[in-house]
Amino acid sequence: MIPTPDLIDLLAARLTPVRRLRGPMTRAAQWLLLASMVTVMLVVAHGVRPDFWQCLLDQSFVVGTAASVGTGIGAALAAFLLSLPDRSRRWALSPLPPLAVWLSMIGYQCLSNWVAFDPDGLRWGEAARCFSTLVMVSLPLALTILVMLRHSAPLRSALATLMAGLSVSAITATVLSLIHNPDASIMVLAWNLGTVAAIIGASSTIGRRFMGLAFARG
Amino acid sequence: MPPSSTHHSPVLSVVEASLTAPRVPDVDWSILMARAQGGDAVAYRRLLEEIAPYVRSLAAKWCREPDQVEEIVQDTLLTIHAIRQTYDPARPFGPWLAAITRRRMADQLRRNGLRRQREGPLTREHETFPSTQANNPEDAPERRALGLAINQLPLGQRQAIELLKLREMSLKEAAVTTGMSITALKVATHRGLKALRKLLAGGEVR
């Protein structure tokens, strides 16, 4: 261990100007804008589900979709707030009410239908197509939010990462519910939260190394 | 006044309450940090020099080992350096600093916990290990056999083996002790080892 005054000299010598981060609300809004752009692009490319207009009359569909959108927004805000050291951890509670509503409306049809038997033979079921859409939506969103939250790595903010994963899940599920018949929410949640668990596990084991990298760059 | 009375978390308020130093120039630190974000190295050095004792006093409340306290201080300074762009000068500096310090203290406590799991204190048994003759009872029969075999050697060879191999003297020291020449010692050792090998392999002494 070098003496602390020497460390201070070293850090002062390596000081470079940094661009201050924008406020967490602004950054969350930027990311949500990206998410809505992805949603719009997919809906335009893929088209809404055949029974979309009927669904709009179905109260449970409307409430469930609103709840998943709410979860996505709440969790995104919480993730950006919690990535800063001095914000209250209670922000993590903010997506819970819409999450509870959303989970209470989730179906599990998608999980039960991976392969379909047709007169023509075996073919990929709805689940497989669901899954490819899922990856297409959640991957870019997850990568963007993790890059935007990278400064929280030295703080080891597992909670912020968890919130980010929840937000990506909720948004992906919303997109899928707009373009697919079967409700894929369970699969979406399992995929995204599984990814988050993997990220948190990896970062807690190699967290120190990442920190070292951050310092080397700084 | 402690850094901020507007932003309270339980741990922070305990730390604040127990902090007897009356003056923590929170506003000054905010300004210094804002300048440091712009690349002002002088302001940055002053900031780090001023906050180091404050961080040390926070850490000392949780940790008694001076080495570990210093480690927390340095980890905190490094973290501040790595994430200095996240500080918003519109917000008080104290809670930001204290929150980072708390994370690094938690890390240190976690490391201590891991160390306790992995390492045990040295006991008397551990202390005797370096002197192999004191313990390792499994070796006793072999040592006895070796002792008997050495006793069967002629005097010159026995002396040479005991002084050079068992007591690990240098040739010069052994020569002074025995009055034999260095060459004679070398020859005696060589012959002694050869004889021992034969004795032990033949099992005559067992």
Among the listed residues A10, A215, A14, A212, the one whose alpha carbon sits nearest the alpha carbon of residue B39: A14
pLDDT tier at B164, thresholds 50, 70, 90 = confident
Contact B103 A15 (CB under 8 A): no
Task: Give the dihedral sign, CA A153/B109/B118/B67.
Answer: positive
Of A11, A18, A85, the CB nearest to B85: A18
Q: What is the pLDDT of residue B126?
A: 63
Residue A110 pLDDT exceeds 80: no
Of A15, A88, A215, the CB nearest to B78: A215
Task: Kindly report the average pLDDT of chain B as a whole number.
Answer: 80
- Checking phi first, is residue A47 left (phi over 0); if not, alpha (psi -120 to 50) or beta? left
Quickly list H helices, B119-166.
124-128, 140-151, 155-160
Q: Which residues of A touch B73 (CB under 8 A)?
A: 4
- Please tell me the pTM assigned to this model: 0.65
Q: Which residues of A touch B39 (CB under 8 A)?
A: 15-17
Computed on alpha carbons and rounded to an integer, the radius of gyration of chain A in Å comes to 21
Which residues of A have a CB under 8 Å from any CB of B? 1-2, 4-5, 7-9, 11-21, 23, 83-86, 88, 151-152, 154-156, 211, 214-215, 218
Task: Kindly report the average pLDDT of chain A as a whole number.
Answer: 78
pLDDT tier at A216, thresholds 50, 70, 90 = very low
Q: Which domains does chain B have, with CATH numbers?
A: 10-118 (1.10.1740.10), 140-201 (1.10.10.10)
Q: What is the mean pLDDT of residues B173-187?
A: 88
Q: Is A107 helix (H, G, I), strand (E, B) or coil?
A: coil
Q: Which residues of B touch A20 (CB under 8 A)?
A: 37, 85, 87-89
Higher-confidence residue: A77 or A86? A77
pLDDT tier at A46, thresholds 50, 70, 90 = confident
pLDDT tier at B8, thresholds 50, 70, 90 = very low
User: Chain B: nearest CA to A34, how far in angstroms?
Assistant: 22
Whether B127 has its CB under 8 Å from any CB of chain A: the answer is no
User: Chain B: nearest CA to A190, how far in angstroms?
Assistant: 30
Quickly list H helices, chain A.
4-13, 24-46, 52-57, 59-82, 96-105, 126-148, 158-179, 185-217
Contact A1 B70 (CB under 8 A): yes
Whether B58 has its CB under 8 Å from any CB of chain A: the answer is no
Computed on alpha carbons and rounded to an integer, the radius of gyration of chain B in Å comes to 34
Q: Which residues of B touch A151 (CB under 8 A)?
A: 82-83, 85-86
Residue B110 pLDDT exceeds 90: no
Range of lowest pLDDT (A5-19, B37-51, B129-143):
B129-143
Contact A7 B78 (CB under 8 A): yes
Q: What is the mean pLDDT of residues A195-207?
A: 63
Q: What is the pLDDT of residue B128?
A: 60
Q: What is the pLDDT of residue B54?
A: 92
Q: What is the mean pLDDT of residues A171-187?
A: 74
Is the predicted ipTM greater than 0.90, yes or no? no
**CA A45 and chain centroid, separation:** 22
Q: Which residues of B touch A80 (CB under 8 A)?
A: none
